[in-house]
């Protein structure tokens, strides 16, 4: 039995693009692309956690195990926590259901960081960027890291702010946070029972709840990937990205 469970939160009733995880992306539903990437890691069982019988039915068609969870779950983290109850694994990896281009290497990097660092409660991933459009986009979350990769803060703002631009610092990249998380089971249990924190309310970033409570989040550096699916425009971009990068 593996130490790892990969859990994919897959809410059908998304607000900006309802049913996005079942939208067709080059011949397969978005969620199937995510599932196949998770399978390729060989880490352990992959389960899909959803509030919709439609998703359960769709997943069965391509051989995935989907768990029906409460429609009262407030976040994907709550959903995977519910789905992972009565499971034996020590580590739970949360892979977003709207990330069809997630790389197996990214999942493995997060898993390896989590297992190899006893101080790590939660592992996640970041990519380096110098793209001002991304850095100034509040939907692109920035991470501030200590020299050992521990997260000091996450923000929708441009952080750290370069008070003076010099030849030495002008090309220093920012860290773009990627929405994948690995949890020790005890850390996941602790996290979901914490109240929403003040900084989390301000930034609308749930990982700040963990930092405010003193939990340690470490970040693995990964290569940039393709677009996540939040809107119809994202889906159109994803079609183009897939054809340019995967279809021969």
pLDDT digits 0-9 by tens, 130-165 = 999 999 999 899 999 999 999 999 999 999 999 888
Give bridge partners of residue 92 from the DSSP assignment.
Answer: 5, 183
Task: Looking at 99-230, list the stretches that DSSP marks H as alpha helix, in order from N- to C-terminal side.
Answer: 104-116, 132-135, 185-192, 198-203, 207-212
Task: Convert the pLDDT of each residue in 85-139 to its tens digit.
Answer: 989 999 999 999 999 999 999 999 999 999 999 999 999 999 999 999 999 999 8
Q: What is the pLDDT of residue 248?
A: 46
Q: Residue ranges per domain, the chain? A: 1-103, 118-178+189-222
Quote the pLDDT of residue 15. Answer: 79
Q: Is the model's pLDDT at 11 over the cut of 50?
A: yes
Query: What class has domain 1-103?
Result: alpha beta
DSSP state of 196: P
For residue range 171-221, what is the model confidence (pLDDT) as tens digits? 899 999 999 999 999 999 999 999 999 999 999 999 999 999 999 999 999
Q: What is the CATH number of domain 118-178+189-222?
A: 3.90.550.10
Output the CA angle 223-78-177, nearest 5 degrees. 20
CA 165 – CA 163 distance, rounded (Å): 7
Residue 247 confidence class, pLDDT cut points 50, 70, 90 = low
């Amino acid at each position: 039995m593996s130490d790892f469970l990969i859990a994919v939160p897959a809410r059908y009733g998304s607000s900006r693009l309802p049913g996005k995880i079942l939208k067709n992306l080059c011949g397969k539903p978005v969620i199937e692309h995510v599932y196949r990437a998770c399978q390729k890691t060989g880490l352990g069982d992959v389960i899909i956690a959803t509030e919709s019988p439609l998703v359960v039915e769709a997943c069965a068609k391509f051989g995935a195990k989907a768990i029906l969870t409460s429609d009262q779950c407030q976040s994907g983290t709550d959903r995977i926590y519910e789905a992972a109850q009565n499971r034996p694994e020590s580590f739970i990896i949360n892979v977003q259901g709207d990330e069809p281009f997630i790389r197996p290497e990214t999942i493995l990097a997060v898993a390896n960081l989590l297992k190899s660092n006893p101080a790590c409660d939660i592992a996640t991933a970041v990519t380096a960027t110098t793209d001002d459009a991304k850095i100034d986009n509040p939907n692109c979350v920035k991470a501030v890291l200590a020299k050992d990769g521990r997260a000091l803060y996450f923000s929708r703002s441009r952080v750290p702010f370069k008070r003076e631009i010099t030849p030495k610092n002008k090309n220093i990249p920012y860290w773009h946070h990627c929405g994948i998380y690995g949890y020790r089971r005890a850390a996941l249990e602790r996290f979901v029972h914490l109240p929403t924190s003040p900084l989390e309310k301000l930034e609308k970033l749930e990982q700040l709840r963990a930092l405010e409570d003193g939990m340690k989040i470490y970040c693995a550096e990964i290569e940039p990937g393709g677009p996540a699916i939040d809107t119809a425009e994202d889906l159109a971009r994803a079609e183009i990205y897939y054809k340019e990068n995967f279809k021969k």
